[in-house]
Each structure stands twice: as structure tokens, then as C-alpha cells.
Amino acid sequence: MASARLDQLLSRCGYCSRREVRTWVKQGRVLVRGESAESADQRVIAEEVHVDGSPLDSPDGLLVLLHKPAGCVCSHDEAEGQNVYDLLPKRWGHRNPAINTIGRLDRDTTGVLLLTDLGPLIHRWTSPRHKVPKVYEVTTDLPIEPALVALFASGTLILEGETEPCLPAKLEIVDVRQARLELTEGRYHQVKRMFGSAGKKVTRLHRSRFGDYGVEGLDVGCWRILEIPGT
């Protein structure tokens, strides 16, 4: 286990600024191996540190599964209104590196949203090369013709304003205006644009799976920490 400076560690985990760590140490709020910490710059092993009686919160990085509700955006920009980060613990907003979403869902889309502060994980799970399957439950304004199954599977569908065709996608028609669509890429508004190319408006969109993850047992707006998978 690698050691780190106490002040760097606490500020990286979002507890307080490096300067404030000095005060916290003086106040006896920080324990190392059960004893009051000696100084803000002492080297420590994260697993041996307690703050206010609790072990450090996810010092090796965070991977979080959120059941995204409608009405919030996947953006850090407060000007865009309520965002998904507002649904997470406040302290996580001060972590460094920052927590980001792995891909984005539109404001009105619900379902599986992963967030992490581990950059390589974002890269791995958003790159089309890795073909992570994403499953969407789609409701449309007009009936979905069976011919769309072959079109979406063909790998020839070119979205408006693009030159590269979409990768083959699996469409399963569930009801007259309901379908399940599995994609292995994540282009801008991809599901809505794919249906839009066939003259249909998506009236409801829910992501039921992202890779191995689903929202079973997780209420809308709630989250849980996931184990970080190996490489």
C-alpha cells in the first residue's frame, strides 16, 4: 500500500483544503493507527486514517451507480439547472480528481448512470472500441415497423450530419410503440436520432443496462458505490 501526505490525502478525498488539515490535526479530528495525527505533512497509509471516527471515504477512487431521475443534467454547470452531482454526497463535489459521468444521459432520460473519478475507466467504458453494451427501453409517438430491426442491425444507418454509419444495433420490438435497443457506442442523442431517422419521436427513454450494471433494487434518484473492476 502506497503512503501519501496526510494533507494531500484528505484534500484529494474532499474533506477539506490542505491548509485546513492543519487545524483538523490540532483539533484531534484525525487519527492515524488509532493515535492523534502528528502533523499535516506526515506520511500515512490511507487505510490507517480515521476522520471524526470514521475510516476514509473511498481513498482509492470511486465508481458509483446512480438511478438517474428525469429532470437533471449530466453537467457540472450550475446554470443548466439541477444536475446529477447534486444527488451525491456534498463532500464528493470537492474530490480531486473530480467525479464525472461515464458518458451522458439527456435531461429527460432515466436509468443507469455510472460516475467515477478514475479517468482510465471513463476512457475504457466510453470508447466504441471496447463495445460496452448499453440497453435502452424506448417509447415512441408512432408505431415501430419491424423493418427497423434490420435497418438498425445493418451497420449502414448514417445519422443526419454524420458520415460514419452507426455500428450494428440490436432492436427488439416489445409492443406497438415500445422497443428495447442495445447499442455498443454512445453518440450524441443517438437513440433519439436513430428513431428520428425513421420519422419517430422518442417520448420516453430509460437506460436499463450499462455493461453488467442495472438499477434493480435502486430507487429513482438513489445511488450505490460499486466495486472497482480490475483491468
- Residue numbers at the binding site for ligand URA (CB under 6 A): 105-106, 109, 189-192, 205
**Catalytic site includes residue 77:** no
Specify the residue, 16 or 191, whose C-beta has the smaller distance to ligand URA.
Answer: 191
Query: Beta-carbon neighbour count of residue 132 at 10 Å?
Result: 21
The active-site residue, picked from 57, 77, 106, 175, is 106
Amino acid identity of 21? V
End-to-end C-alpha distance for the chain, whole angstroms: 18
**What DSSP string describes 138-207?**
EEESSPPPTHHHHHHHTT----TT-SSPPPP-EEEEEETTEEEEEES---TTHHHHHHHTTT--EEEEEE
CB of 196 to ligand URA, least distance (A): 9
Amino acid 40 reads A
Distance of alpha carbon 219 from alpha carbon 217, whole angstroms? 6
CB-CB contact of 101 with 115 (8 Å): yes
- Nearer to ligand URA by Cβ, of 15 and 210: the residue is 210
> In the bound complex, what is the minimum distance in angstroms from residue 35's beta carbon to ligand URA?
50
Nearer to ligand URA, 5 or 180 (CB): 180
Query: Min. distance of Cβ 67 from ligand URA in angstroms?
Result: 14
The CB-of-112 to ligand URA minimum distance in angstroms stands at 11
Residue bearing cell 406497438: 176
Active site residues: 106
